[in-house]
Each structure stands twice: as C-alpha cells, then as structure tokens.
Chain A
Amino acid sequence: MTASTKQITNMEQLLEGIWKQNPVFVMTLGMCPTLAVTVSGFNALGMGVATAFVLVCSAGLISLLRNFIPKEVRIATYIVIIATFVTLVDYIIQAVSLALYDALGAFIQLIVVNCIILGRAEAHAAKNPPLPAVLNAFGMGIGFTIGLLALGCVREILGAGKLFGVSLFGASFQPWVVMVLPPGGFFVLGGWLLLFAWWAKRKESNHG
C-alpha cells in the first residue's frame, strides 16, 4: 500500500516539472540560455540535454549530502557542486560534438548560473531523499528541454525555413531573418507566453 502511494508521488514529482511547473513557460526561469541558444532545433536540444544532465547529477549529489552541508555555506557548496558538473559537461560536449560546442560557446559554462538548477537545489534537493530529488530534477530537465525545443523549432522554421537542418518550404520561401536574430527570441517567447496566458484565461472564463 505504501509502495503504491509512493509510486504515485514519484510519478507526480516527475510530471510536475514537465507540465504544471514548466521552468520556461510557467516559472520563466533560466531565460538567458533559453533565448540565446535557441536559433535552431539542434542547438536547443543540445542545450536542453546538457542542462538536464547537470540538473539531475547535482540534485542527486546535493540530496545525498543534504545532512552534511552546513546551513551557512550551503549556497556556496551548491554552486561548487554545480560548477563541477558543468565543467564535466563542457569537456564531454567538446569531445562528442565540436560543432555543437562551437555553436553554444560560452553558454555551456553559463549553465552554472542557470537559476533553475540552483533553485531546484535550494527548494527541493536539499530537503528530499535522493530518489524523489532526482526524479523531480529529471522532470524539470525534460520540461526545460521541451521549452527550448518549442522556441528553437519555431525560430528555425520562421527564420531559416528549416527544421533540424532539413529544408521545409523549398527555394521560394523568403526566410524571416529577424527570428534568428536576438529580437526574434524575445518575440517568440513572448508569443508562447501570450498563447498560454490566453488559454488559461479562456479556460477560467469557461469554468466560471
């Protein structure tokens, strides 16, 4: 009985980050990498997976060490743990795909200051045993990746007429170049948020 209730809570932990508390669309955290690297679907996917990896590893380690870290220096400890995993990811990406490494550039190392990771460490991993902490972090990571993909795909389709490097519309398509330039990032994310806000408002008025 206890096992089954635990299973449900674990499942909820996982789903929370994907939908109900999606880091990009609901909490609007981690904006800097979200907007900077999402000029194409491929970059967005790489960034999302890298962030998810750091998120899961640091959440697991912090959760394991949660009873040993003194309260006064906890933020500094979390930052050092996160920075360690980010350094690891930095070298892994460099070894696996040099093209991705060049495209993401300094933004891989900037994962350290992504508010989502420190936020999860402080709000969740420091208070929970490893399994729920890791599941929660994994959900958040997936949610973040979905958010990045939603931005990256829209920007690549509109701005370059391609999706994951495959041309969609043929030669007659005039690319909407502003979408792959910085302002496009703001516009597309603003558009998504507007869509969600409008949807929430409509649902609310239907119920009321």
Chain B
Amino acid sequence: MDESLGQIFVITLLSSNFVLAMFLGLCPFLGVSGKLETAVPMGIATSFVMLVASLCAYGLNWLLGYFELEFLRLISYIVVIASTVQLVEMAMKRFSPALFRALGIYLPLITTNCAVLGVALFQTARGYDFGQSVAFSLGGGAGFTLALVLMAGVRERLKLSDIPGAMQGTALSLMLAGLLSLAFMGFGGIGVSR
C-alpha cells in the first residue's frame, strides 16, 4: 500500500470508477440519471455522505480493533451511515428545501447505496491509512458524480430519438452503461507507477 494520494484519487475516479468498473451504487445510477439537474445534486450529496462515512469508518475501525470487536464492524458501519444520511437530510431540509424536494425518496435511499458502504468496506479491506482513506472516498464520490452526469447527458439526448419498442427502458440504460464502462476501461493503467 505505497500508492500516493493523487494516484488513489485518479484510479478511483477513472480506471476503477465506482459505478462503471466496480458496480457500486447502480440503483441511483439507473434511477436518478434521467435529468441533469437532479443528477448533479444527487452526486454531490452522495459524495458528502461517502466522505463522512469514510472518516467515521476509519475511526470506528481503529476503535473496534482496540477493543477486539471486529465482528461488529459491519453493524456499526451501517448504523453510522444511516445516522449520517439522517443528518444530511435534516441539514438539507433546513438550508435548502427546494433541493430537498427535488431529490425526494432518493435522499433516504443513500443509506442503501452500495457505494457508501463500499467505500467503508474497501478502505478497511485494503488497509488504507487516514490520508489514503480521504483520497479514496473523494475519488469515489467524484467518480460517482462523473458517471451520473455523463449518463444523464446521454439519456437526455435519448428522449429526442426514435427507439424500437422492446429496447426502451432499463435494457437500453444497461447497454449504455456497458458502452460507458467500455470507454472508461480505456483509462486502465492511468496512475499506476512504473
């Protein structure tokens, strides 16, 4: 684990993008990517929760290791994430009611977003230190937002085109995601030190 912080950020942003290469957070990716103006705030809210979850997970992991309670790791992570989402929801309701209404049901659903728990679990599994965890969660959040915005852009164009009946809906979204994923594979090798 001697990757530099910049390397971790770039790798999680591009070549092992959370959505397109690691399949994390697909539900909001397919659900909220219909319009650009909801995709951007959703990406930012999720990135924020990911950052907080990553920081909490780092602290918790140290604490659980100290008391030798590693089997409680999963349960404590998920409880922390659920409370963070609740906090973000309350803060957003207080400071930006318009955004709160726009995101609707998808805001509480951040709790069950695999990307958030994924950040916490992968950083633990890879043994990242504090700085690396922060870089990892920032890169993951930025990557999630990037994938969401790209997909929303493509899907906005699709509304104007003539699509065969059976192809409409989820099937086409998945094919598109596959093409995006194929494009992102072109980034493979970026950030790897020689």
Q: Which of A19-70 contact B (CB under 8 A)?
A: 28-29, 31-33, 35-36
In the complex the two chains form, what is the Cα distance from A79 to B76 in whole Å?
A: 11
Number of interface residues of B (CB under 8 A): 42
The count of A-to-B residue pairs whose CB atoms sit within 8 angstroms is 117
Flag whether B61 is at the interface (Cβ < 8 A). no
Flag whether B139 is at the interface (Cβ < 8 A). no
Q: Which secondary structure dominates chain B's binding surface?
A: helix
- Number of chain A interface residues as a range: 35 or more
Q: Which residue of B lies closest to A197 (CB)?
A: B166
Q: Which of B84-118 contact A (CB under 8 A)?
A: 111-114, 116-118
Flag whether B22 is at the interface (Cβ < 8 A). yes
Instruction: Give the Cβ gap from A192 to chain B, nearest Cβ, in Å.
Output: 8
Q: Write out the residue numbers on chain B whose beta carbons fall within 8 Å of the beta carbon of A115.
A: 27, 112
Does A79 contact B78, Cβ atoms closer than 8 Å?
yes
Q: Which secondary structure dominates chain A's binding surface?
A: helix
* 17 A–B contacts, CB within 8 A, in A order: A31-B27, A35-B23, A79-B78, A86-B74, A91-B71, A106-B125, A110-B114, A110-B118, A112-B78, A113-B113, A115-B27, A182-B20, A183-B182, A186-B181, A193-B169, A193-B171, A197-B168
**Interface residues, chain B, with chain A CB atoms under 8 Å away:** 20-27, 30, 71, 74-75, 78-79, 82, 111-114, 116-118, 121-122, 125, 165-175, 177-179, 181-182, 185
